[in-house]
Structure 1
């Protein structure tokens, strides 16, 4: 049974979309931490905008206070719930992955919402270059562990971190960009399969609302 709003310590505000809030959602789900996923439509946003600290979302509310900035929220949640890496080196790798994923996501969202054909084409080329560089680096860095006749792949170390959840989200978004060949990154696709098969993530992916981005 889902927790009631009154019993949840955390409330996440964002549009009814994956966008910049999905990695935070995935972290909460992976850590089995109850939270209120407060979504709203584009039409509802003007009435809510003035209630947000910087008139932007996502925003995390806890203890009666609202905290903005997707990057800050993700990094805090990763540390809070044990998904930021086990060693200093691992933590730096996770931070690097989160920062890179956010750069790719920003370009993706600009491309996704683009309407002018020429500028959209230019944005897609920029996105392709940025994403290919990012994915190529992590294809070389991911760690493979063979167990029970299967290969499990993690971005950092041999267990789940926020970097894996960010990669899952980025690969889902980039799957709609036809000029990017994700099959060129088989280890990252196996990382996606590894993370998607984890019980709390699998349950979430099977039951979450279907959003276009």
Structure 2
């Protein structure tokens, strides 16, 4: 036997010293959002980017420019979000991606699903139902809007109010800003921009004024530092839905 441990005992190999990470933090991604040169479906996405403090380029294009871009669009439509030149299409998919990357989908998977459920309802109210009315001939709009407000919206806003009332803390889900809050705010923001003042005030008076929990959510979103700064000086101006 030699010096040291007996032959029946094995000496554990010495741990290798960990290499120090001398790499500098990775550069933030290059983010580019392309949409028509008005608000529309890009606006909720811009609000999410602003809330997350994400630096991005907004590429507002004309209808003429879109004719040339459309054949290359990943899903054949706008908006398109590019992350380091990798494109994403479909507005809700983009919104969900931005929300996930900026911790705005709630505390767990169930919260995330609740956010999805609320956003789906909100998106339907404005983009599936309200926006088409705006493109109707002017003489047809009042009757169509009246029908929408009286026959369709009450049930939809009742669903949303259940979530808002249950939390009653300025958020639909959990206790911090989610993309559900942002999308809810955005439909009223877009309605205010695109509807006649009388029509907007009617909708606001019917669905928001009687509901303090809705008012809290709108206030929460408007008070977010990134969103507040954006709303103060935003571009482009309102020209279309």
Same fold? TM cut 0.5:
yes
* Aligned CA-pair RMSD: 2.2
Give the equivalent residue in structure 1 for 2:114. 93
Provide the secondary structure at the position in 2 that maps to 1:46.
Answer: helix
5+ long unaligned stretches in structure 2: 1-27
Q: Is this contact kept in 2: 1:9–1:63, CA < 8 A?
A: yes
Deviation at 1:124, TM superposition (A): 5.0
Give the equivalent residue in structure 1 for 2:54. 33
Which of 111, 115, 134 pairs up with 1:112? 134
Give the equivalent residue in structure 2 for 1:211. 238
Q: Is this contact kept in 2: 1:114–1:120, CA < 8 A?
A: no
Q: Is this contact kept in 1: 2:115–2:178, CA < 8 A?
A: yes
Task: Mark the CA change 1:195 to 1:42 in structure 2 (over 3 Å): closer, same or farther.
Answer: same
Listed one character per residue, the Cα deviations across residues 8-36 of structure 1 (whole Å, up to 9, x for unaligned) are: 61111111222111111111111101111
Give the equivalent residue in structure 2 for 1:167. 184
Deviation at 1:91, TM superposition (A): 1.3
5+ long unaligned stretches in structure 1: 1-6, 146-152
Task: Mark the CA change 1:186 to 1:12 in structure 2 (over 3 Å): closer, same or farther.
Answer: same
Equivalent pairs, count: 200
> How high is the TM-score relative to the length of structure 1?
0.83
Listed one character per residue, the Cα deviations across residues 26-84 of structure 1 (whole Å, up to 9, x for unaligned) are: 11111101111111233433233223123310111123232211111111111121101
> How high is the TM-score relative to the length of structure 2?
0.74
Mean alpha-carbon deviation: is it higher for 134-143 or for 195-204? Answer: 134-143
Higher relative contact order (CA 8 A, sep 6+): 2
